[in-house]
Structure 1
Amino acid sequence: MPTALITGSAGFIGYHVAARLLNEGWRVIGLDAMTDYYDVGLKESRHARLAPLGDFVAETGRVEDPGRMADLFKRETPEVVIHLAAQAGVRYSIENPRSYLESNIIGTFEILEAARADPPRHLLMASTSSAYGANTQMPYHETDRADYQMSFYAATKKSTEAMAHSYAHLYGLPTTMFRFFTVYGPWGRPDMALFKFTDAILRGAPIDVYNFGDMSRDFTYIDDLVEGIRLLMDAVPERPEGGVVPDGDSLSPVAPYRVVNIGNSEPVQLTTFIEAIEAATGLTAQRNLMPMQPGDVPATWADAALLKSLTGYTPATPVHEGVARFVDWYRGYYLRNSSDPLVP
């Protein structure tokens, strides 16, 4: 059976990708540092659910540890590598930028060095819609200029794109970078808005609504994201002959390297998102209207035409459906009894 290496396998997205591949019969090597950026117990619960699904090997460690990835690549010789481990969070990058430098930039360097020595068939790595930064023309297309990142988190992810392109060019490493757009769903991260809002609404506590609610996001349901990743695994980029790139493609003219948006292609107002949570919980939110947070952008919107061109697939789960599934999961995971619905 083929082997996939997934970094960040106890994370929100990594867990779901690993589950998908295990259910398809892949052997999955999952590496996660189990950091305490958020509840380690939630990460452990995700990993615990993977073992019964198939041939899952859990490794604990940091991608940035010198030589760790090189040893893992050499020992396991993965056919596909999906690099999802990262220090996430726009706002936290203002408080603790060094963790982003170490995990995102140095960690990606270790991945690239390991792939150079023991190349996989396809290297796939997570970037972010935040890479588009101060862009105001929407929807965001992969070929748009993206030079004005608004947070250090976004800057580190954009840096990893440039690093990966150089390795793809120099060493012929087939590489696909994903730009994710506000992923949400069951087993999501506690630092994300959906988790925070659901928790607060169920407890009767107020929620902080930034930019006074005048924000929109291209919310992407986790199952749609995983489907996009799975299909892109088989869309291995090749260095274009003569440097000629098809119209609309983000393929590099000098490397087997491509950037692909994975988003729902439908920006949703933050107020509409909150209303979906209210509908799913049957409760009304107490809204604490606040100004824009440093590093945030007022809107995101993915052009997913390239994803469809490469795979035939377009994410399409409506926000009200995805939010309802999250709330169902949240209640099932955290509910201890009817009088204490929110203690983990």
Structure 2
Amino acid sequence: MTQLFDSYYAGRRVFVTGHTGFKGSWLTQWLLLLGAEVTGYSIGVPTQPSLYEPLGLSGQIQDVRGDVRRSQDVQTAMAKAAPEVVIHMAAQALVLPSYADPLTTFETNVMGTANVLEAARHCPSVRSVVIVTTDKCYANNEWPYGYREADALGGHDPYSASKAAAEMVVASYRSSFFDAGNASGKRTGVASVRSGNVIGGGDWAADRLVPDCIRALAEGHPIIVRNPGSVRPWQHVLEPLSGYLWLGALLARDPATYGGAWNFGPNPESAVSVEQVVSQVCQVWGGAARFETATSAQALSEAGILRLDCTKARSQLGWHPVYDMGEAVHQTVTWYRSTMEDAGRAVPLTVRNISDYVQAARAKGVSWAPMDRGGRV
């Protein structure tokens, strides 16, 4: 697996914030398989249960506990790790908690991003910085077409607004400090990445659709759905992570070409309604779709339609999605079902999911996963 992404990550030092979260755990596991030396920086394990703990990642990396809101702590940790690649994923990542605690959301997502960038610009070893935001950073006008990287930023809820503001911070730091070179005189590539609504095994966050479905199905309860008609760009968690990793490698080699904002979303047909996702999850689980529409969240503003246009990543990076919606749901629900029956399956199943995804990517000819020398996938 070390030959993926132009073999860039084998032996490289990578600093990952938010490594204990759902996406962060998948990313950390993949980086280890690629041969990277990972330092993780996180305030703690965000959920119980979690994916991070069953994977046993803390014993395989430098596991640093700290808050991205504390600038000096971030700088100290990054300087000690001396990474070549920084991937910033730490965030307050949910819409509903942003209404309950908007200040923490803005502090974490805006100032936390600024603190990571400030640490990176003072760290001479850093060659590329990938800042993870969200598809919700766009000013959503309920348009039927996918949003492109040049479209206006905005957000009605505190979470979306905080991520739009983080995008502005990234653009400012890139043009003010990184395009001209860092303290060592070497240029560092900086990019922001915007993925769709990710699904995958090991997400146990509250108020997220698939984890809510799994909990309800396992307990025999109806699934509570806030907005069944809302349309989102659903994708398996490994889809955007492949984009982040590929971009991190390319940024280090050509900051001018690959800096900027990038969408990593699914194919257009995978942008479906919440109700359709619930139905597919229940079908794979093996039960009838029973859901009730919540009433308590009706006063909270959430976009009705959201799609991403990934033409830029397709044309300039050679990146494109591997799984359709059906396969993404199958991989996800199968992971949950298997690990709930036997928690010891978490590691081998997660590693196998990554391996299966790589094989499927090679078969589809994506740029970051070339055939081996014998022409095999």
TM-score class normalised by the smaller sequence: 0.7 to 0.9
2:123 pairs, out of 118, 121, 126, with 118
In structure 1, C-alpha distance between the alignment counterparts of 2:83 and 2:105, rounded to whole Å? 26
Alignment match, 2:222 = 206
Deviation at 1:293, TM superposition (A): 5.6
Alignment correspondent of 1:244? none
Distance in 2 (CA, whole Å) between partners of 1:75 and 1:47 is 25
Structure 2 CA distance, aligned partners of 1:99 and 1:43?
24
In the TM superposition, what are the counterparts of 1:146-165 in structure 2 within 5 Å? 146-147=153-154, 149-165=155-171
SS at match of 1:234: helix
Query: Matches of residues 195-344 of structure 1 in structure 2 within 5 Å?
Result: 195-211=211-227, 213-236=228-251, 238-239=255-256, 257-266=259-268, 267-290=271-294, 292=298, 294-335=300-341
2:123 aligned partner, one-letter code: D
CA distance in 2, matches of 1:145, 1:106: 21
Unaligned runs of 5+ in 2: 1-10, 179-187, 344-377
TM-score, normalised on structure 2?
A: 0.78
CA contact (8 A) 1:135 1:146 kept: no
User: Residue 246 of structure 1 aligns with which residue?
Assistant: none
In 2, are the aligned partners of 1:276 and 1:319 still within 8 Å (CA)? no
Give the match's secondary structure for 1:235: helix
Identity %: 24
| Aligned match of 2:346 | none
**Change over 3 Å in CA distance of 1:220–1:126 after alignment to 2:** same
Q: Secondary structure at the match of 1:183?
A: strand
Amino acid at match of 1:199: R
Q: 1: distance between equivalents of 2:73 and 2:284?
A: 44
The alignment partner of 2:163 has SS state of helix
- Deviations 1:271-291 (Å, cap 9, x if unpaired)? 221111111111113221246
Q: Secondary structure at the match of 1:18?
A: helix
- 1:255-307 deviation digits (Å, cap 9, x = unpaired): xx411111103211222211111111111132212465613111221111111
Q: Is the 8 A contact 1:264 1:315 kept in 2?
A: yes
* Secondary structure of 1:171 counterpart: helix
* Alignment check: 8 A CA contact 1:133 1:297 kept: no
Q: Could you tell which deviates more after superposition, 325-334 or 221-230?
A: 325-334
Which amino acid in 1 is paired with 2:137?
Answer: A
| CA displacement at 1:111 relative to structure 2 | 0.8
Q: Which residues of structure 1 form unaligned runs of 5+?
A: 241-250, 252-256, 338-344
The equivalent residue for 2:12 is 2
2-side partners of 1:202 and 1:76: how far apart?
41
> Is 1:140 matched up with 2:150?
no
AA aligned to 1:127 is T
What is the RMSD computed on CA atoms of the aligned residues?
2.1
Contact 2:285 2:337 in 1 (8 A): no
1:72 deviation in Å? 1.6
* 8 Å contact from structure 1 (residues 29, 59) kept in 2: yes
Distance 1:210 1:261, change over 3 A: same
* Cα distance in 2 between the residues matched to 1:238 and 1:61: 29
Shift of residue 124, structure 1, vs aligned partner: 0.4
1:335 deviation in Å?
3.6
Tell me, in whole angstroms, the C-alpha distance in 2 between the residues paired with 1:186 and 1:45. Answer: 13
1:85 equivalent in structure 2: 90
- Give the count of matched residue pairs: 315
Q: TM-score, normalised by structure 1?
A: 0.85
SS of equivalent residue, structure 1 residue 219: strand
Q: Which residue of 1 aligns with 2:181?
A: none
